[in-house]
Amino acid sequence: MKIFILLFLSTTISAQHFIGNYSIVFQDSSRSNRDILTEIYYPAYSQGQSTPAVAGQFPIIIFGHGSAIPTNAYQNLWQEFVARGYIMVFPTTEGGIISNHQQFGWDLQFLVTKIQYEGNNSSSPIYNIVANNTALMGHSMGGGALFLAADSLCGNNNNQLKTIIGLAPAESFSNGVSSITSAGSITIPTLILSGSQDGVTPPDIHHLPIYNNLASNYKTFISISGGAHCYFGNSNFVCDFLENASSSGISISRDEQQQTTFDFLNSWLDYSLKDNCEQYSVFQDSVINSNRITYDQVHIENPTPSIVENNGVLTSTAIGIEYQWFLNDSAITGENSIILIPVLSGDYSVEVFFSNGCPTISNPYSFNYQLGNDPELSPISYLLYQNYPNPFNPITTLGYSTPEDELVNITIYDLKGSIVKILINKSQSAGYKTVQWNATNNRNEPVSAGLYIYTIQAGEFKQTKKMVLLK
């Protein structure tokens, strides 16, 4: 692992909002109506309990506390982030000395969806101010448990969860699976902060193995030089007692560690939850130029797409998670797939969004449309396109064209030749078509990862291609 030590750059922005708060008990019916006492802090017009919320849409930070650490130990965090336009959510469960990390991970997972419902509750103080973008953040036990929660959320293709942030995350377990193992399924942008002198959850045993096993192409590990385990929050008896008994060589103050943490988190959160990709560059500059940290990072540059034309169909060469096509610099409503069938002459471009949430856009492609050559109406040949994305998890799109009205059958097979899913088996008019597969069989059961074969039969035309499902 390559480590760098460089000059520090501050990114802290001053507070803007007062902080309102309230407590609520949610019940998880899937766990025998488990009570989840939750404290919620939100941007308000005045300080206090259940005060009116500021108008707007605010991203969510769901925070997991450390074992036996009260949530008021993290007052420094909600004072910083809520004032900057975030809603912070603190489940207070598993607060005893002996904590169930598995249950706590499920609590965090449950709240990702539940808070969205709370934002639609007209009697709630946060009614109509909850944005869709959510982060999971946690310290110590909560930092480890969030990886257990994120594993399941990412596996279910949850589109609300945009990033996870671990502050000195402790290795946690769920059904015998550790947070280190769970990290191998997490592909969303991830940030881990660690104190170099942490003796409570030693980085080499806890923080680094989680980081190293992350599947994300956008991950950063920050070790605060001379930092402690407990200094991410305010002073509290349990954590300080453990720190005094196990850590040595701490060479910075609590205020210094917290300020360093905010300098990185503010830009990271603005990038990942407020869709401000410029702040990702600010974050990068802060990491590269800081003399307070050592770091490791995986950062894959987004490719610049280009456009290729095949039989009157335009295709993006870059594969992303979202697409937007433009004609003469104006967005084309509803054109959000990797391919476009143009019906007007002009300059076409495509904006491709990648897993880090940031887009790149192609150079314009000049297309000359001629009446009578409409590819949607009259493809010149039978063709089965390669699915996109490929590899995929869990949804992919198959494109095909038929120059005549035909009985069309598209079937997916496993490597044994057994039928997995019949996607289409009906008469269709000529044209360019697409169909999606959600990685289920004919009984709508999820299928296992691996190589699959898909075929098209249209009249006498038959073609076969391969695709790969990831888990």
The domain limits of the chain are 18-299, 301-375, 379-471
Q: Which residue has the higher pLDDT, 6 or 21?
A: 21
Cα separation, 370 vs 330, in Å, equals 21
Instruction: Write the pLDDT tens digit of every residue in 278-295.
Output: 898 899 999 999 999 999
Using CB atoms within 10 Å of the CB of residue 94, give its burial: 0 to 12 exposed, 13 to 18 middle, 19+ buried. buried
Q: Which residue has the higher pLDDT, 371 or 196?
A: 196
> Top-level CATH class of 301-375?
mainly beta
Percent of the chain with pLDDT strictly greater than 90:
62
pLDDT at 108 over 90: yes
pLDDT for 174: 59
Cα separation, 264 vs 7, in Å, equals 13
> What would the CATH number be for the domain defined by 379-471?
2.60.40.1930
pLDDT for 376: 44
pLDDT band at 391 (very low <50, low <70, confident <90, very high): confident
pLDDT for 69: 93
Bridge partners, residue 399, by sequence: 434
pLDDT band at 104 (very low <50, low <70, confident <90, very high): very high
Q: Which residue has the higher pLDDT, 6 or 113?
A: 113
Using CB atoms within 10 Å of the CB of residue 150, give its burial: 0 to 12 exposed, 13 to 18 middle, 19+ buried. buried
Rounded to an integer, the average pLDDT of 370-384 is 60
Would you say 139 and 64 are in contact if contact means Cβ atoms under 8 Å apart?
yes
Mean pLDDT of the chain: 88
> Top-level CATH class of 18-299?
alpha beta
pLDDT at 407 over 70: yes
257 vs 27, 70, 167, 411, CA distance in Å? Answer: 36, 20, 12, 57
pLDDT at 70 over 70: yes
301-375 and 379-471 share one fold: yes
On whether the pTM is more than 0.85, the answer is no
Query: Which residues contact residue 408 at a Cβ distance below 8 angstroms, ignoring those fewer than 6 apart?
Result: 400, 402, 424, 425, 426, 427, 428, 433, 456, 457, 458
pLDDT for 4: 36
